[in-house]
Structures are given as C-alpha cells and as structure tokens.
Structure 1
C-alpha cells in the first residue's frame, strides 16, 4: 500500500497492516538527505573550521583550541534548544506539502547561505561574527535534521523501521566519515584560500539536501491534521518534555547517552592514547589513527546496512542495540589491556562493527519509544540530547578521570567501557512493543 493520505483522512503514522511493503523510496530520501547535510557539516566542523581559525589566528595552538572549545559548547547548547523547538513547530505545521517538507527545504537554503558567510570570514576582528554564523548553522541545520528523522516515524510502519533505519544509517555513516575526507582536499599550504572554496562547495551540497529529499519523499498534505489551540495544555504538549507513558522513552535517551559518551570520549582522546599512553610520535600516531578510521568506516558501513533488516526479522531492537554496545565496550578496553598500537586498529574493527549496528537499530528503537506519533519531531529532538549531551559530557568525564588516575590517559579506557555497558543495561530495561 502506498503512503497516500488525503487531507480528509490525515493520520500521523502507518500501521503494519496499512503498509505491507517496505517503503524503499522513503529510505532513499532520508539517506540522501542525511548524507547531504551531515557530510558538509562534519567536513566544516572538524576540518575547515580549525584550519581557517589557525590561518586567521596565526597558527594552531592553545588560542585556537580555546576558541574551538567555546564554539563547540555554544553550538551544542544552541543545537539542543533549537532542535526541540523546531521539531515541535514541525509537528504542528499545516501545509499542502506536509508537516516536514517546508522545514527541510527552507532549512537547506538558510544553512547554505550561512555557510557561505563562514567562508567569507577573513580576519580575527570578524570572529564574533564567526560565532554568530556558527550559531545560525546550528539553528538552521536543525530545520533539516529534526523533520527529516520524523519522516520515518510518519511514513514507515513499525515492522519496516529497522530496514529503513539501516538505509538511513548508510547515508549517515558515509556522511560522518566522508565529510572530513572531502574537507581535507581543501587544505593546502600553497593556497590557503582553497579553504574558503571548501565552504562554498559544502554550502552547495547542503543546498541540495532539502529539495532532493522533498522530491523523493512526496510527503502528503497535512491540511487535514486537527488544529490545536496553543493554550497552556497545548503549549506543554507541543514544547515540553513528555511526561506520560515515558518509561521506555527516557531509558532509551539515557542509555543512548551513555553509549555515545563512550565513543565520543574515545575519539576525543585517541591521539593521547597513542602518544602519551603508548609513547608514539605524532606522525606514527597519525598513521594508526588513519588505519583505525578506515577500519571503523568500512565495518560501520557494512553493518549499518544489514543490522536493521536483521532486527526486523528478530522482532527486537533492544537486544541488538545492547549487543552493539557490548562490541563498543570490548573494542574500547582492548588498548588498555594490550597497550599495543595495533589494538587501535582492532578497536576500529570491533567498535566499528558495534557503531554500525548501533547507528541503524538504535534509530529504529528511538522511533518505537516515542510517546505520541503526533509530536514525533519534537520528541526525536529531545532524544537528540543523547548526542549533544555526550559531546559536552565526554570531554568533562575524560578530564575528571585523567586527574583522578594520576595524569595518565590509559586507565580512562576501562571506565569508558563500563559506561558503555551501563548504557546497554538501560536499553535492556526497555519493555519492547509497549509504551509505559
């Protein structure tokens, strides 16, 4: 059955009986959409921004690091707030093009415009403008992110969500790892201005994100959606954290946050595990990081594309997510046990497998713990706190552990592995196929 909703027969989601066939077109749309926003965003945030700031501020050093830390913290706070607000507004959007399409298209245009502005920054005196523009990107890109994720809840029946989440995850993984690779092509000692070209290229790709996804989605009209008065109870329902039937929801949120803290903290300190912990030089450490990154990307792509359909057949999400967290924890503790640089590559293989499984099946799990399909985008924005919260908390946890264990990075690893296992435990406490 095709995804057809007339304005008179609007509904927020599909049941398994209404959608016996996998809606592959929706999967392709969200995969291309996430690839075209995440790749440019990661390429800019991890490669072009540090390189541009080093050029502007007279070379890499503590000054640049401090500015990047401020930029990251402000960006995480802005992203956390705007993804919930935009998601809530998207849930309540009445238009002939649907609830999500107007936001996705307009968000891609605004994000692209602001990214061009970042590329035009040239002097240290313009850095306050740089911060404002970065906050603009964090805001406008959420006009793509929150509604695009909600499309899966809107247009995919529960029995197909593992498969569609896997297709989405392939685009996510390629964007996550491919964006920095493309960004690196715009770094040149001989031509520093090439960095600005990178911003413009990435802006063009983001500009395509919304329109391409919208054309593929063909989202039905939401004009038939019941209108709510935005009185106190309506405001609470639209914008505030859910409070009814939320046990599964919050277990998924905090379980995911613990697992993501494990992977984020490992990524933050990976250079120091090799240099300070294993006594390698910078160039040798860089070689192992490159090999580890390649192994992680390959395994993540393979398993993100297959784990979702497997979870559909097994009719479980939580056990697959918990298994993924177990693999991540095993990979995390290996360098501490063996203290050999080769174990970083094994981390890439084992934890990369876990990350691939996690990226697809956890998304399907998130969709199934939503308290109300009519507030899907807002609630998915709240679940995104697991990612933004982990970005803030992981470096803090690492710094605290570093001081506690006597200025040594390696003992951080078993603690991170335990944090990942605690996340798996919280996920296993979820009552599947129930909302309680």
Structure 2
C-alpha cells in the first residue's frame, strides 16, 4: 500500500524492537496460518450477526407480537447495538493492556466466545421484546470483545504489503456466513435458480432455539481455531503503562484535529454502514409488507436472496483485494464501492418484486464485497499508532456498531412516515454521502 509501515508513519521503531509495541508479524511461515484462521474466526462472528439478524430475531419478534411490527424489531435490535458500540473500544483497550503467554488478544477472544455462547443459549428462551433486546444486547456486547481481538490481529501480525489480500480474505467472511445461514436456517428457493423445491432449511429445524444453539457452537469453534491453529506470540515481555483511570477513559477518544485521516475514515464507514443496515434490519419484514411474498415462502425467498448477494460479494472479495495490492491504491475502490452500494439501494424503488430484489442483491452484494475487501486495508493505514491497535480498531468498529443503533430508529420512523420507498431513498443517500467522506483521507492513495 502507500505506507511502508504503520510504525514508520508514527516515527517509532518497528514493533519487534520498540518496548511495548505489538509483536512483529515476522516471516511468511509465522503468518501463514492466519490466511485461514482470521477469515474462519470472522465467519463465525458473521454467522451470529446474519443468522440472528436476518432470521432468528425477526421470527422471534413475530412469535412474540404476532405481527411484522417494525417498532418491536427496532427495540429488540437497538438495545443490542447500543451495547455493542460500547463493547468494542472497551475490550480493545483492555486487550492492549493484557500481558500473557497467550498474547494480548487471544485470552479475550476465548473468554468472550464462551460467554457469548452462553448468552445466545439464554436468548433462545427470550419470551418478551424487552428480554429479547437485553439478551441480544448482552450477546453483542460480549461478541464485540471477540471482534476487537480478531480485528486487531491484522495490524498486530500482518505485514503492510499483505493488507490488501488479508482485507479481501476477511471480506469473504460475511458472504460465506450468509451462504451458510441461508442454507441451514432459511433454506434456498431453488425454483428461482432453475431447480426444484427448497435446498436446506431442514424443515425449519433451526429457525428457533436450535438456531441459537448452532450459532453458539460456531463462535466457540471460531475462537478455538483462531487461538490454537495460529497461536499469538507471548506478550509477557511487553512493557505496560501504569493504569491511570483518566488516561484509560481518554483512550476512548482520538482527536480528529490530530488524526484527521482516522476521523474521515470513521465517518466514511459510518455512513456506508448506516445505509446498509437501514435496509438490512427490515429485509425480512419488507418481503412480507412491501414485496408481498406469502409468509410461508419468506424463509426460502430470503435464503435465495442471501445466496445471490453472497455470490456477488465473494466474486468482489476475491478480485478486488489483489487488484488493490497490485495498483497500490485503496481509496478509489472504497469510494467506488460505497457509491455503488448506495445507488443499488434505489433498485427496489423501481422494481418492487423478487426479481427486482435479485438485481438489487447482485449489485449491492458486489459493491459491498468490494467495500469490505479494501476498507479494512484503508482503516489499518490510518490508525494513530500500532501499539494501541486494539483500542483504535475498537473505536473504528463503533462505525459498524453505532449504525446498528441508529438504523432501527431511522428506518422505523421513515417506514411509518413514508413507507419502504422512503427507507430505500434515505439509505441510498446516506450510503453515498458516507462514501464521499473517503475523499478527505489524505495520506492513503
């Protein structure tokens, strides 16, 4: 990419020699397992986000309220996202200060995976919107500790020359998780792909409590594979600053004036993700109320649309990361993908059918795959310094979590006031505005 290293930009020694710095990424043999374990750990995480968000929570809301109630879904989703926004920088900063023979991140990844699994099992029993919101909030809060740990592995352990390919591999996590979610939980309407019947779905076996149990097992497996197949170097010899509460709390703030690129990258991701989540949060209900899909067909139709989206995302993720490394530029790809993602949100306005949503999911899936393939590479290059990568990546990840807080409220208000048409217009414009912010990032090409 454009910077030889994060440490060089900060004017400090490489991490292998600087006291308190992150362990060196080392040679190819040391990072080789990460080519598999980082995407695998992220797949486990996205299985929870997509499995619960696309299927289990909307189905649970309908079971509790007896209706496609946007306000109930809003409340159940937003409580969780609000806690998630707090969790990521908190766990990131705690992991920065952790010293153990298993490294800084691994203890938190393992502990949070275990606690999140227990919370998912509890969520399976939620029988009210309040309880659903609280349990989902607990799951998201804890899983953001898991996410903070695996996200920081890239600036900790991956050489800058490999940022593009690793960003692309990590970007593959969401479409792979979407494919698995569609097949196992929803089933796939094969008649729309030239086949017959429904592939997967298993008769709705995983649309209730069993689905949550499956997700709980997946996140534990993801953590174990990450921890033991690609063990993190010991952090016991790293210096650690004396704990001062004032300094610890101050660590949750990165000055936009001092680090403007970091601030613009944050705003860009926030805008793109807000546009994305405004439509995602109500996709299940939108099929019933806007596209008029019969309720008994919603699961396999949702599964089919997710497969279409995932396939397009995979194509983009496989191609764009390598291209970005070759041309040594990421900004044009972030900008183009963000704008394309925003424009694609207009398709359902003009074509409110399953066919229109197929076109939308192809366009949006490819654009989002391009975005996910390069945005992590850009973010990694604008971190203030590598020694606080966990904390800084946690702050950046608020741009993932905070839109999930805002999106349910924005979408519910717009759907009430202007219908699903207004929701698509708003999501598209917010996404495009977010993409344009990346132009302000100066030190990354």
The answer to whether TM tops 0.5 is yes
Aligned position for 2:86: 81
Most deviating of 144-153 and 218-227: 218-227
Does residue 23 of the first structure (1) align with residue 34 of the second (2)? no
Cα distance in 2 between the residues matched to 1:22 and 1:198: 36
Question: What is the deviation of 1:176?
Answer: 4.0
Does residue 261 of the first structure (1) align with residue 266 of the second (2)? no
Q: How does 1:121-200 map to 2 (within 5 A)?
A: 121=125, 131-179=133-181, 181-184=183-186, 195-200=208-213
Question: What is the deviation of 1:102?
Answer: 0.6
TM-score by length of 2: 0.82
CA contact 1:273–1:410 (8 Å) conserved in 2: no
Which of residues 410, 421, 431 in structure 1 aligns to 2:432? 421
Cα distance in 1 between the residues matched to 2:280 and 2:49: 18
Judged with a 3 Å threshold, the aligned counterparts in structure 2 of structure 1 residues 122 and 376 are, in CA distance, closer, same or farther, namely: closer
Does residue 42 of the first structure (1) align with residue 50 of the second (2)? yes
Q: How does 1:101-116 map to 2 (within 5 A)?
A: 101-116=106-121
CA contact 1:5–1:220 (8 Å) conserved in 2: no
What residue ranges of structure 2 are gaps of 5+ in the alignment?
A: 1-13, 188-199
**1:84-120 C-alpha deviation (Å, 9 max, x unpaired):** 111110011111111001111111111122222333x
CA contact 1:5–1:11 (8 Å) conserved in 2: yes
Question: What is the deviation of 1:261?
Answer: 2.0
Question: What is the deviation of 1:325?
Answer: 1.3
CA contact 2:186–2:302 (8 Å) conserved in 1: no
Question: What is the deviation of 1:208?
Answer: 1.5
CA contact 2:110–2:227 (8 Å) conserved in 1: yes
Cα distance in 1 between the residues matched to 2:209 and 2:291: 37
What residue ranges of structure 1 are gaps of 5+ in the alignment?
A: none
Cα distance in 1 between the residues matched to 2:348 and 2:30: 41
Question: What is the deviation of 1:417?
Answer: 2.9
Which of residues 302, 315, 338 in structure 2 aligns to 1:325? 338
Aligned position for 2:314: 301
Which of residues 91, 96, 111 in structure 1 aligns to 2:96? 91
3-state DSSP of counterpart to 2:35: helix
Q: How does 1:218-297 map to 2 (within 5 A)?
A: 218-231=231-244, 234-242=247-255, 245-268=258-281, 270=283, 290-297=303-310
Cα RMSD between the aligned structures? 3.5
CA contact 2:33–2:230 (8 Å) conserved in 1: yes
Question: What is the deviation of 1:241?
Answer: 3.8
3-state DSSP of counterpart to 1:409: helix
CA contact 1:272–1:409 (8 Å) conserved in 2: no
3-state DSSP of counterpart to 1:309: helix
Cα distance in 1 between the residues matched to 2:330 and 2:204: 50
CA contact 1:42–1:180 (8 Å) conserved in 2: no
CA contact 1:6–1:220 (8 Å) conserved in 2: no
Aligned position for 1:334: 347
Cα distance in 1 between the residues matched to 2:123 and 2:166: 34
Question: What is the deviation of 1:253?
Answer: 1.1
